Structure 1
């Protein structure tokens, strides 16, 4: 009977349902609801008890055996029997789990519902940590997954669902707490016209007036820059024809007095002289042009017959830090070429100069490499597996479908060349990252697939690029729960693989006109236990006269760096590349590893938690060139607020716009401060966006913007006085000015020039005083609208023009200039 029911269900699903985006999916309804937090001596930080509610929507029973429900869950699930032993919860790989019927399971009739308790081993406060992308798999068709499209995460509505650990330092965000947080200090009557804030700015008497499109004069070598400026000027003058005889724009290269930065520029605007922009290099010219662009009026604000007026002024400018970067992860969830190109445009607006592109990880390999097609055929695709080496398993919400555009995808060689050329035109360097030796499962499995295929076909050199040793019995588990994702440092084929990839990258960069000067090699999160039971590694340790696997780490990166040096390429990596595990004041942490000092290795330091709070300073003080990317301040995959409706992670911090602006690069907490030598080795700042929760350009924009503007200000603008000598009142005034500039200057320009960029619009703060409700936006200048019937505010809802006196369930939302609403806040006014 059981086999018959399974066969009937299989026939129904395979004939009338599809795993593809347009298909019907599995005839099931699934709901996930957080029931309550649980705290105990075993779980002092808490765990979450949740409920899966499964309903059979098919006219036939869900059989007693022969099926499983798969799902991804970053928070994990406690494994074993559930529903009084009727079902089993199992890990498939890493954070991919499945629920399947046990021996005592009874068929689920049409319309019948099951409630299955899930225990998550940590608090699941943020929705992105809950189970994602569930799908049905039948034993008879293990390579096919049918998405459960009728799936919802039910939002918490009861106090026990969001209870926090006793003594939690940060309470949940509420409309009332946001109202207090959004309180603004007094700002100057006249705001600076630019952001990032220029080094020197002086307003002069007079105004430059143009009746028509001005002439742009530049040497032939600057023709591209001149054309870029003309493309910004033309929309201001409908005729599009250059009108001579009026003050022109002059672009030139040359020294900028008193400044040594290659990105220095001087910009002058005068009523008679016109515009003169002089820069120390093409990069400096690009930064100066973006400043001029910000000074131009918007086309919608120009009356064409009256022309364009620009205030007379003089700016001399240069960046605080030479490195101003964004690390964008396209491995965990892929982002399209178009999204990458628009992200580069956004970076250029605010004078960022480096895109650190995270091209590989456990969950994806995203770049075509000639001679190694398996990297993208196997490592660049995710979906339900019958053959574990045909492609990668689902992860981070990608589900069973190989056509999912975020789980599967890669940049062709032509795509990458286009990305590089676009970046070069914007004077932005692209530093690719190929993560090694850990975080390498996509490559490891792709090369294992290549090895097996070539063995079966009898091809020579089957193990030429193999990254794993068949006889390795090492037992380990990564932070992301992988047990088979580390390159083996004792195999010659590992270095052959690295050399093949590096050679391809170098050739592509050369062809694009952006020489590959530095490669980021990862070097983070090697799990304990890796390499310990590898025969090849044990033999290598004997050859090295060492017994500790740390010697294998040094050996691996000695060889990788030597390989890069032969190609004229310097190395960069995460902080663990230049650190060793150590006990620091009784806590496990990291200490500088002198082995790689003096080799032009740049470290990107994210770990500023626990005993590693001052790790970046200790590495810089030791002599490593250091880029600050602290997780608690510049990790843009963190949720903005401690709110169960906010997207993002919560493992390091909750990171709102004001906290990014408030970051003080030279005054991070910790036991050790930054020495004078360390200051010289602190070369810049980097915003970091890992993409576990970023499926698509809209979510990308919400996580990046406007926080990216806070990073741009801190990385470019000179060290403020309130950082050199802490002054909370001065800091509050500067923060208020920054918020005012965003709300009244920068975001309105983006609304007009980049309306598809759906930056985050923060929920308003609300406060009830007596029988009225007060509302406050995070950014001055945003439009607030409200409803009183419990429905979300719309673009035609009443404006908030003072205290709200309406009674009922009050909802308030902020709107941009295009009528797009942010998430509303709610408060009862009975």
Structure 2
């Protein structure tokens, strides 16, 4: 009977979702957003406008409704137009409520709401997201407008990167003939092309030369890749042929865990390695030697140069962090990422599976984690699902907002990764960034309490109902931190860990560590928690809420140690808060330094005071992964321009920032601050430098894709590729000479030569390959550089080998427009655009007939 009553209560709680639609059809509305003034009142703020246009035949009433939308920015509550109020609901969700000054919108008319954003606008990511209407009469249901338009920023606002700036950045790139380029990326430790070639055709024999067949999986992988390239089965010996071409995989000692040797001679190829991982990387280098196959027709044979390669990685940990919590990516997209991670010798996929906005992996013991926290739709109480975030809209149909991996999905991901010698590191965010799990466990509590099972209901609760602590996270949530004073929190952690262990065991995949987050816990959490007050009475060592940090991670570490799993986390996990001369500061926490924990350090924002944090932790004894926002964040915008998506709070970050990163001295070539302005090098005075001991603790690099702005598989690939190739280069290849050269002029020359080599490899080998690999990757195609000189436009491209096309009538260039081969007369409106081998174009650069020659 209690269960029946509970179901009735749930049905009434959701009644708004099924309520009849209002008389006015919101599909007849078009919403448009624009910047009115990007320097409003001579301040670093923007006056923006939301314009509502009625395309229907009925009048939109002056009130009785709200507009909800998402934004990562803050707003003044009272609309500058005086006809509405903008209030934050929670997190990035806001509401707009019309007031008595708002007028009904008749058919064919428009209304305008001007409001002030407390930041200027740089790119289209700064616009509001996912606006929808909710009527007062049906508060549980949201309605999307028929169209939402984001109007471009007026070019009059200065400070954005122009085509001329891009041209001057590109002009130092040397065009290198394709046959002079190394054929393997990342650049091997030793690479030498010798005399002759080897031809791969259907007769080639892939062979494992060791009795125990320890490299049989790698040989099978190679055979499959060659068959895909040729479009036919290999290992077919022609009885009429007098020659036999063989690829042998040998087990030999002395190459280390991931090292290999590749020898290509005219009639035989040898791959020597001491481990299956090393053999796999030898196979990847052999595949990389093969020229890209474009189009659908498969060649009868592929010719590769004879080479001698000896190779091993610089860093043992080479990772990609993929956030699927903020916006979800399906299983197939993760498999596509794993393919390229294997190709470019990256060995760890860090899956950010949980956050405030979503929980993305099935935990069979706790079904609410996905039945509640994997869904986003219109709700103000989060009792049955989470609210819209990052523009996911009012219902579950948005695939970026709603979704999770079943156990079967995740097992498939693990097996696929294992075949490519990639470890999948799961991240379960705690104690902050945990709103999804908190609300899911509250839903579980409500369900079991309604069934009369109080003891079971309380077993996994993550917050204290009596906690009156007032806080706001960096992302504006006020209820997203787990109360670590509760005993039930550790029951929950152990339950989640046990289910993860079972999933990895089912997949036959290693689980050496679990990442438990730890970043961005706001001030004032737990201060008014009854559970915290009770804990202090029984634990005299806990004197303030700061001490809960070490209590929590000490207990989590103990849970993991019992299962032979290492604790991994963000930098805050390894820090202890203290004071120096009365000022708050953070130092490496001696309590955990010998526990084998691994910390990922992201915070080195130039000018914010923590530039040396990674070096402090490494010098202090912590195994440190550099995930530096200045150089290794995929989600930062490539440059300061309207047409480049992404955040930029930490840096503007093009592929050159990945390539130019100096892990052991990233101060050395830091040239601009987070706004793209020339750096004031005084910020490095007094900062810790990396000691020789500290170098031993830098175990690797990690590129991070936070997904607030990533709404589709195509957007994911645009943000990650080809930057991921530069990440692989810097994590695997030896330290380049330009990183340690003391003469600045020589260092600059060495860097420019190396940069030219790399971008030529991208433009002439790797990107043509990726245009067709796996059906084609949506990698970012660079915007062309354009400059006006002597009445003509000159154009260039960041990746030599790509094609620039143009038009002179103001139309958008297409794959059939004239190819740029010489300067173009500056008459009419001239547009330039870069295309890949498949005919896919990038962003357009435009010149106008009233441009003046450069001085």
Contact 1:78–1:89 (8 Å) recurs in 2: yes
Map 1:554-565 onto structure 2 (within 5 A): 554-565=550-561
After TM superposition, the structure 1 = structure 2 runs for residues 19-58 of structure 1, keeping only pairs within 5 Å, are 26-38=27-39, 46-58=44-56
What SS class does the counterpart of residue 147 from structure 1 fall into?
coil
Deviation of 1:92 after TM superposition, in Å, equals 1.4
Describe how 1:710-725 pairs up with structure 2 within 5 A: 710-725=726-741
Residue of structure 2 aligned with 1:535, choices 530, 534, 537: 530
Residue number among 58, 65, 68 corresponding to 1:67 in the alignment: 65
- Note if contact 2:203-2:245 (Cα within 8 Å) is conserved in structure 1: no
Alpha-carbon spacing, 1:301–1:134, altered in 2? closer, same or farther (3 Å) = closer
Is the 2:173–2:798 contact (alpha carbons within 8 Å) kept by the matching residues of 1?
Answer: no
Residue number in structure 2 paired with 1:496: 491
Helix, strand or coil at the partner of 2:460: coil
What residue is the counterpart of 2:161 in the other structure? Answer: 173
**2:80 corresponds to 1:90:** no
**1:7 aligned residue:** none
- Alignment coverage as a number of residue pairs: 797
Aligned to 1:800: 820
How far apart in 1 are the matches of 2:831 and 2:219?
Answer: 49
User: Deviations 1:1-55 (Å, cap 9, x if unpaired)?
Assistant: xxxxxxxxx99945796xxxxxxx53222111111233779x6xx1111111112
1:618 aligns with 2:616: yes
CA distance 1:211–1:347, shift in 2 (3 Å): closer
**Equivalent in the alignment of 2:626:** 628
* SS of 2:214 mapped into structure 1: helix
- Establish whether residue 120 from structure 1 lines up as the match of residue 117 from structure 2: yes
User: C-alpha displacement at 1:438, in angstroms?
Assistant: 0.2
In structure 2, C-alpha distance between the alignment counterparts of 1:248 and 1:710, rounded to whole Å: 32
> Which of 206, 209, 212 does residue 196 from structure 2 map onto?
206
Partners of 2:57 and 2:80 in 1: how far apart?
26
Q: 1:155 to 1:589 in 2, by over 3 A?
A: farther
> What CA distance in whole angstroms lies between the structure 2 residues aligned with 1:707 and 1:563?
37
Partners in 1 of 2:300 and 2:127 — Cα distance?
57
Equivalent residue for 1:466? Answer: 461
For residue 773 of structure 1, the aligned residue among 793, 801, 816 is 793
Q: Aligned partners of 2:296 and 2:53: how far apart in 1?
A: 59
Deviation (angstroms), 1:118: 1.4
For the structure 1 residues 301 and 180, does the alpha-carbon distance in structure 2 shift closer, same or farther, using more than 3 Å as the test?
same
> Residues 589 and 612 of structure 1 are in contact (CA less than 8 Å); yes or no, is this contact kept in structure 2?
no
Find the counterpart in structure 2 of residue 658 from structure 1.
656
- Contact persistence 2:123–2:644 (CA under 8 A): yes
Summarize the Cα distance change of 1:239–1:762 in structure 2 as closer, same or farther, 3 Å threshold. closer
Are the equivalent residues in 2 in contact too, given 1:173–1:643 (CA < 8 A)?
yes
Shift, 1:74, TM fit: 1.1
**Are the equivalent residues in 1 in contact too, given 2:81–2:115 (CA < 8 A)?**
no
CA contact (8 A) 1:75 1:124 kept: no
CA shift, 1:251, in A, is 0.9
Q: How far does residue 239 in structure 1 lie from its aligned partner after superposition?
A: 5.6
Q: How does 1:355-754 map to 2 (within 5 A)?
A: 355-385=349-379, 387-460=381-454, 461-545=456-540, 546-581=542-577, 590-609=586-605, 610-669=608-667, 670=684, 671-726=687-742, 727-754=747-774
Q: For residues 358 and 749 of structure 1, what CA distance do their matches in structure 2 show?
A: 29
Moved more, 187-196 or 476-485: 187-196
User: Match for residue 186 of structure 2?
Assistant: 196
- The change in CA–CA distance for 1:303 and 1:756 in structure 2 (over 3 A counts) is closer
Structure 1 window deviating more from structure 2 (212-221 vs 91-100): it is 212-221
The whole-number CA distance in structure 2 between the counterparts of 1:176 and 1:662 is 22
- Measure, in 2, the Cα distance between the counterparts of 1:776 and 1:553: 53
Cα gap change, 1:174 to 1:806, in 2 (>3 Å)? closer
CA separation of 1:375 and 1:806: change in aligned 2, threshold 3 A:
same
Q: Which residue is equivalent to 1:326? A: 320
CA contact (8 A) 1:236 1:302 kept: no
Gaps of 5+ in 2: 1-17, 238-242, 668-683, 851-855
In 2: Cα distance, 1:158 partner to 1:325 partner: 38
Q: Note the C-alpha offset of 1:510.
A: 1.0
Alignment correspondent of 1:227: 220
Inter-CA distance 585–653: structure 2 relative to 1 (3 Å threshold)? farther
Is the partner of 1:70 in helix, strand or coil? strand
CA contact (8 A) 1:296 1:310 kept: yes
- Aligned Cα root-mean-square deviation (Å): 2.2
Report deviation, 1:73. 1.0
Indicate the residue corresponding to 2:781 in structure 1: 761
- Whether the 8 Å contact between 2:294 and 2:768 is mirrored in structure 1 is no
Counterpart of 1:149 (choices 146, 152, 156) is: 146
Q: What is the CA–CA distance in structure 1 between the aligned matches of 2:319 and 2:525, rounded to whole Å?
A: 32
Give the secondary structure class of the aligned counterpart of 1:633: coil
Instruction: Report the more deviating stretch, 192-201 or 234-243.
Output: 234-243
- The offset of 1:185, in angstroms, is 4.0
Matches of 1:581 and 1:47, distance apart in 2: 34
1:755, 1:818 within 8 Å by CA — same for their partners in 2?
no
Aligned to 2:676: none
SS for the counterpart of 2:150 is strand
Post-superposition CA distance 1:227-261 (Å, at most 9, x none): 211122225556635344513011122324xx43x
Name the SS for the 1:634 alignment partner: coil
Contact 2:807 2:813 in 1 (8 A): yes
Shift of 1:492: 1.1
Deviation at 1:299, TM superposition (A): 4.4
Residue ranges of structure 1 left out of the alignment (5+ in a row): 1-9, 18-24, 164-170
SS at match of 2:804: strand
Match of 1:251 in 2: 249
> Structure 1 residue 755: deviation in Å?
4.0
| Corresponding position of 1:3 | none
CA–CA distance in structure 2, aligned partners of residues 107 and 184 of structure 1 = 58
CA offsets 1:304-346 (integer angstroms, 9 cap, x no match): 9984433221111000000000000000000000100111001
Determine helix, strand or coil for the equivalent of 1:631: coil
Deviation by residue 1:261-307 (Cα, 9 ceiling, x = unmatched): x00001111124x0110112111111111100011234459999984
TM, length-normalised to structure 2: 0.90
- Following superposition, the deviation at residue 539 of structure 1 comes to 2.1
Q: Counterpart of 1:20?
A: none
CA distance in 2: counterparts of 1:676 and 1:791, whole angstroms: 58
Note the alpha carbon deviations across 1:403-439, whole angstroms, 9 max, x for none.
2101000000100000000000110000000000000
d(CA) in 2 for partners of 1:699, 1:306: 35
Identify if the C-alpha distance between structure 1 residues 376 and 15 changes in structure 2 by more than 3 Å, giving closer, same or farther: farther
- For residues 454-481 of structure 1, the C-alpha deviation after alignment (integer angstroms, 9 at most, x for no partner) is 2122124211110010000001000000
Most deviating of 109-118 and 713-722: 109-118
Aligned to 1:130: 127
Q: Which residue of 2 aligns with 1:824?
A: 844
Distance 1:309 1:584, change over 3 A: farther
Q: Tell me, yes or no, if the aligned pair for 1:26 and 1:136 is still in contact at 8 Å.
A: no
Distance 1:54 1:529, change over 3 A: same
Distance 2:443 2:20 in 1: 33
